[in-house]
Amino acid sequence: MRQTFCVTGLDCPSCARTIEDGVKRLPGVQECQVDFASGRLDVVGDVSPATLAARVHELGYNLIEAVEERKDASASSISLLRFMWQRSDTRLALLGLVLILPGVILEELLGIHHSLVTIASLGAWLAAGFPIARSAWQAVRVNRDININVLMSIAGFGAVAIGAFTEAGMVMVLFAIGEALESYTSERARHAIRSLVELMPERATLLRSHRGGELTSESEEVTVTVLRPGDVILVRPGERIPVDGRVIAGLSTVNQAPITGESRPIDKEPGSEVLAGSINGEGAIEVEVTRLASDTVLSRLIQLVQEAQARRAATQRFVDRFARYYTPAVVALAGLVMTLPPILLGQPFVDLAVPSAGWLYRGLALLVVACPCALVISTPVTIISAISNAARHGVLIKGGAYLEMLAQVRTVAFDKTGTLTYGRPVVVSVRPANHADADGTAQHCTDCAELLALASAVERHSEHPLARAVVDEATRYSLHTRYPAAETVTALPGRGVTGRVEDREVMIGSHTYFGQKVPHPEEHCVAAERDAQLGRTPLMVAADGEYVGTITVADAVRPTSREALDMLKGMGFSKLVMLSGDDAAVGTQVGYQLGIKDTRAELLPEEKATAVQALRSRYGGVAMVGDGINDAPALAAADVGIAIGAAVGGTAQAMETADVVFMSDDLRRLPFVFALARAAMRTVQVNLALSLGLKLLFVVLVALGMGTMWMAVAADMGTSLLVTLNGMRLLRSPSPAV
């Protein structure tokens, strides 16, 4: 049995490891994983929630049901002081802060010693140190583990033993407050992922419900979990759409930015698909439910983003392994520092007059300065911030491993159909009979508008892709209502279609059929043949037997594709390749339009995968960009497989199989993703350098007797906060250019 919970009180990845080790020791637990980035505890085995909660509480943390995570998410918006006041251990740390101030001011700064000051310092040590010592004891007793709380407890007890009462209190107070600050900043980064859950409305207005095959009218507020495919709901202006569905009544615009990252609202009319979590505009719409609340695009997005935290980057895995051996090694080193100089060189072990001069004190200070918190927190906060940033802009990166690989990619291969092009027929040119050598547009040309209006009247009720392309183009220029839908529409198999529009007989047919039946200008004949050679489909139109013009339909290049490719070239991607299953002439033409020099056409799916493997062998890291359906072999063969249009195309396969998923089909997100990955890896490197560099500096200072324990704690906590805040910058920057 698999159970999922949310853990509160996590300050750093070491805390997550402590819980993980402790829960694994419970009878019946087969697997256990605690993810610091998301605060999730996943347990597999026969163990009760009460037993799990007791063990987690025993280790110094709290467990809540995953369903309560939504309510707990608001904690990220409260002030730091209120956040600290909510937890008993941090309330004790605040008490310790008040008690330690006399010792800091009078003893450390003014050199005034008094018994009351000593009592206050001991009180600060006890108040702030009690939760730390309790957690340390549980870590040793339950996990047989030496963690950072053990190190701090040893240092605090040792300082009291040699009479450094103010330092003992200061060490515990600074450490406790520093841990609280880490927890606060980490919770804010963690909330960026949890905020996706808040996009999902909990209730919906049910208008009609299908139950047992009978249609009943209810018109009531219900929870989204009771909605089933076929139910009809009402979405009022300004409301979030609660489930995926299809508009059956009403007109509106919908802001899909929370899901797809699209910057502009999308017009919705009867027949349009809508996504859960998107925001309805100015019109009320009735929506037929097409998916259960648990199966919506947003639900899958949330699930996959949460699972992404388990796929750690290689750097993060190395740091986690390093930290497991680092802490015991530091304890051994501190023991040698305490004992070897007094034994071999006759140096003082303890100096009661000047405690910092004794080697016991220096060994204790080394325990403090070697705390691994800053090191282990430097990478996960950066990774989760970058993944959260991407998710907010409609891009799902399935883990730190893929983020790290994206930063190493220098070659990008693209599928053509559905990726660089629309993947469906659209009108690419309108050529009326009196246009000799140029294509017109329905926006500026009266004859073009008339040609398009006539054709759309005949094609109005057809579901053929070519017919839909004509109707969509007419609708784009508001020409679909110029004429009523044609009457007595008749299909001519292999040739075309006819229909009566008002008092005229309108025919739409192929170039071959018109060559036999309807005379047309030579230049239009040449243009049609040229279009056919380029993989386009010319649709010739006649009215009452007289040629009116040609509408050319093709799978057109997306307007954003060229812009995206130019942005990639500006980022240093010199090797961009197009892999297509289409005819070589078509592939060459599309490549020319986009400025891609390396175009490979007439490839089967397996041959695309072979081409990707060849690119990897020659150029190193390769990303493959496709629609996630017939490009599966090539996506799998690449170092990073990127699928586009998972939300707008409704392709669940894309979200499940690719390493990176674009919820929209706008390729301009691609430069953003690469820039984000590079920024993340730079930030990780800077954070690691800061963590290790400052630690090394203070180790030297402590060894020379120039560093104190409270200075070491302040430096370590300061470094932890610094790397955390540095990683959290990636929540906002970089952002998509468009």
Classify 155 as helix, strand or coil: helix
How does residue 192 score in pLDDT terms, banded at 50, 70 and 90? low
Per the CB < 8 A criterion, the answer to whether 183 and 16 are in contact is no
Of residues 208 and 598, the one with the higher pLDDT is 598
pLDDT digits (tens, 9 = 90+) for 274-329: 988 889 988 999 999 998 988 887 777 777 666 665 556 667 667 667 767 777 77
How does residue 594 score in pLDDT terms, banded at 50, 70 and 90? very high
Which single residue is written with the structure tokens 């340390």? 136
How does residue 191 score in pLDDT terms, banded at 50, 70 and 90? low
Question: Residue 640, Cα to own-chain centre: how many angstroms?
Answer: 15
Helix, strand and coil in the chain, % to nearest 5: 55, 20, 30
Domain 2-77 listed as CATH 3.30.70.100: yes
Q: How far is CA 572 from CA 411, 565, 567, 569, 575, in A?
A: 10, 11, 9, 5, 9
Position 274 scores a pLDDT of: 92
Q: How much is the CA Rg of the chain, to the nearest whole Å?
A: 33
How does residue 350 score in pLDDT terms, banded at 50, 70 and 90? confident
Mean pLDDT of 181-196: 67
pLDDT digits (tens, 9 = 90+) for 135-178: 889 888 888 877 778 888 888 888 888 888 888 898 888 888 87
Which single residue is written with the structure tokens 């939504």? 70
Across 58-200, where does the E strand assignment appear?
A: 62-65
CA distance 635 to 655: 12
% of the chain with per-residue pLDDT over 90: 32
3-state secondary structure 285-339: EEEEECCCHHHCHHHHHHHHHHHHCCCCCHHHHHHHHHHHHHHHHHHHHHHHHHH
Task: Please name the fold of domain 201-295.
Answer: 2.70.150
Give the CATH H-level superfamily of domain 426-554.
Answer: Calcium-transporting ATPase, cytoplasmic domain N (3.40.1110.10)
Mean pLDDT of 435-448: 69
Mean pLDDT of 15-39: 86
Evaluate if residue 77 carries a pLDDT over 60. no
Out of 267-281, 314-328, 576-590, 630-644, pick the least confident: 314-328
pLDDT digits (tens, 9 = 90+) for 40-58: 888 999 999 999 999 998 8
Evaluate if residue 569 carries a pLDDT over 90. yes
Classify 135 as helix, strand or coil: helix
CA distance 561 to 544: 41
Of residues 17 and 210, the one with the higher pLDDT is 17
CA distance 93 to 464: 71
CATH class of the domain defined by 395-420+558-676: alpha beta
CA distance 409 to 478: 45
Residues forming the active site: 415
Query: Which among 193, 219, 217 has a CA at the least distance from the CA of 206?
Result: 219
* Residue 237, strand partner residues: none
Query: Which among 239, 196, 261 has a CA at the least distance from the CA of 395?
Result: 261
How does residue 695 score in pLDDT terms, banded at 50, 70 and 90? confident
Domain-wise residue ranges, the chain: 2-77, 201-295, 395-420+558-676, 426-554
CA distance 734 to 736: 7
Out of 74-83, 423-432, 500-509, 592-601, pick the least confident: 74-83
Position 17 scores a pLDDT of: 82
Position 578 scores a pLDDT of: 95
Evaluate if residue 506 carries a pLDDT over 90. yes
pLDDT averaged over the chain? Answer: 84
Out of 338-352, 377-391, 392-406, 651-665, pick the least confident: 651-665
CA distance 227 to 295: 12
How does residue 650 score in pLDDT terms, banded at 50, 70 and 90? very low
Of residues 552 and 71, the one with the higher pLDDT is 552
Evaluate whether 395-420+558-676 and 426-554 have a shared fold: no
Evaluate if residue 108 carries a pLDDT over 70. yes
End-to-end CA distance of the chain: 45
Per the CB < 8 A criterion, the answer to whether 377 and 684 are in contact is no
Position 74 scores a pLDDT of: 43
Evaluate if residue 657 carries a pLDDT over 80. no
